Amino acid sequence: MSKRDYYEILGVEKDASGPDIKKAYRRVAMKHHPDRNPDDNEADDKFKEANEAFEVLSDSDKKSRYDRFGHAGVEGQTSAGTADFGDIFGDIFGDIFGGGGRSHQSHVRQGADLRYNLELSLEDAVRGKEAKIRIPTSVKCSACGGSGAKKGTKAVDCSTCGGHGQVRMQQGFFAVQQTCPRCNGAGKQIKDPCITCHGRGSVEETKTLSVKVPAGVDSGDRIRLTGEGQVGVHGGPSGDLYVEIIVRPHHIFQRNGKDLSCEIPIGFADAALGGELEVPTLGGRVKLKVPAETQTGKLFRLRNKGVKPIRGNSTGDLLCRVVVETPVQLTKRQKELMDEFQQIQEAEGKRQTPRKSSWFDGVKKFVDGLRT
């Protein structure tokens, strides 16, 4: 009986890569393994075929001879034995969990990222500045170079996992890889720990960093300082430090994106007669012309007196809301003048207080409607 084509058995093309061949072999081997198909002679034959095909196609020399001469080129050079099903599952779980027992670098890990809240005044956030910050952090131990082992010694492979960082537990045809309980996945054991860091490979320090805050930042913006986070484990790279901006409330201005806003109290006479006011901005004082008969709540827009945001080219505006202030602590003479003014205003009729008059007219209609 003629043998089937090895590529057909595994279901791959002739130009398939090594990893593709291995992946196809796993799929076929798991499907037809005798432990999963007891008393099934056909499945047993297909499993042996898959092993034989993989043995040839995974070996570059045998694969080359097979491609040139077919089965005759590898006659007598295949074992056609039964591969250990635990190895198949071991490879799969190893791929899922980062290499499993085959990785000798599993104990090397990147350090954690850190966050620092940097409070700024509105002025500093708008203009930008260079800030100095002090942060507690872990740094690589200089005495042991981050290895955790005493100077002149080094960590040795874990006696339980053999340096792999994981151990395999097998039951039947299932094999599951777990973190080694002795070394906690490090794969190494330190017999003589460093007296400075006590085997951790890092020490606690407070360091001062310079942070360049760009102009236009706002609350919630983050600045990343690469490599300034926690030191890596067993020589791994350090994490990053994220500086989060928090802009303190301002006693005059409120910020909304690239616009600023403020309230400007003005006197009764200024609102009625009009005038010119000095308005504060982040760049200094400017003149604001208030027209006569200005009502409270009137909004004035000062172009390009806001913020140029960190993302965007145009500068925002300053929105000034006028609030008419009622005079307090009037003198006797001022009260007399106000009484006289009120009498004159009432004599003029509704023309001088149109909003007040229309509001009370509306109230009167509403009350009369309730009575009817």
Of the candidates 204, 219, 247, which is a domain's last residue? Answer: 247
Query: Using CB atoms within 10 A of its CB, is residue 110 exposed (0-12), middle (13-18) or buried (19+)?
Result: middle
Residue 94: inside a domain:
no
Spatial contact of 274 and 291, defined as CB atoms under 8 Å apart: yes
Residue 210: inside a domain:
yes
Instruction: Give pLDDT tens digits for 167-219.
Output: 776 555 556 777 787 777 777 788 888 888 888 777 888 889 999 999 999 99
Q: Are residues 70 and 166 in the same domain?
A: no
Whole-number pLDDT of residue 16? 87
pLDDT at 97 over 90: no
Q: Are residues 57 and 26 in the same domain?
A: yes
Q: What percent of the chain has pLDDT over 90?
A: 32
* Helix/strand/coil for 280: strand
Q: Are residues 24 and 67 in the same domain?
A: yes
Whole-number pLDDT of residue 86? 44
Q: Are residues 168 and 211 in the same domain?
A: yes
**Which token pair is 194?**
């460093």
Q: Are residues 168 and 139 in the same domain?
A: yes
Q: Are residues 137 and 234 in the same domain?
A: yes
Residue 136: inside a domain:
yes
For 362, list phi and psi in degrees, rounded to 5: -65, -40
* Beta-ladder partners of 73: none
* Helix/strand/coil for 30: helix
pLDDT at 300 over 50: yes
Strands 275-281 and 222-225: unpaired
Residue 102: inside a domain:
no
CA distance to 7, 57, 72, 175, 364, per residue, from 15 (Å): 10, 11, 20, 31, 93
Most confident of 32-46, 130-144, 181-195, 357-371: 130-144
Q: Are residues 234 and 156 in the same domain?
A: yes
* Helix/strand/coil for 179: strand
Residue 95: inside a domain:
no
Buried b (16+ CB within 10 A) or exposed e, 188-216: bbbeebbeebebbbbbeeeeeeebebeeb
Residue 93: inside a domain:
no
Residue 38: inside a domain:
yes
Q: Are residues 169 and 49 in the same domain?
A: no
300: CATH: 2.60.260.20
Q: Are residues 124 and 214 in the same domain?
A: yes
Whole-number pLDDT of residue 264? 93
Cα Rg of the chain (Å, integer) = 41
Q: Which parts of the chain are beta strand (E)?
A: 114-120, 129-140, 156-157, 166-171, 174-179, 188-189, 202-213, 222-225, 241-247, 254-256, 259-267, 275-281, 284-290, 299-302, 318-325
Instruction: Give pLDDT tens digits for 243-279.
Output: 999 999 999 999 999 999 999 999 988 998 998 989 9
**Which token pair is 200?**
């951790």
Q: Are residues 144 and 233 in the same domain?
A: yes
**Which token pair is 187?**
């794969």
19: CATH: 1.10.287.110
Domain that holds residue 185: 114-247
174: CATH: 2.10.230.10
Q: Are residues 223 and 303 in the same domain?
A: no
* DSSP secondary structure code for residue 311 in this structure: S
The span from the CA of 135 to the CA of 6, in Å, is 62
Residue 318: inside a domain:
yes
Residue range 303-318: mean pLDDT, rounded = 91
Whole-number pLDDT of residue 239? 87
Of the candidates 67, 83, 99, which is a domain's last residue? Answer: 83
Q: Are residues 259 and 352 in the same domain?
A: no
pLDDT at 106 over 50: no
Specify the number of domains making up the chain: 4
Confidence of residue 138 (pLDDT cuts 50, 70, 90): confident
pLDDT at 88 over 70: no
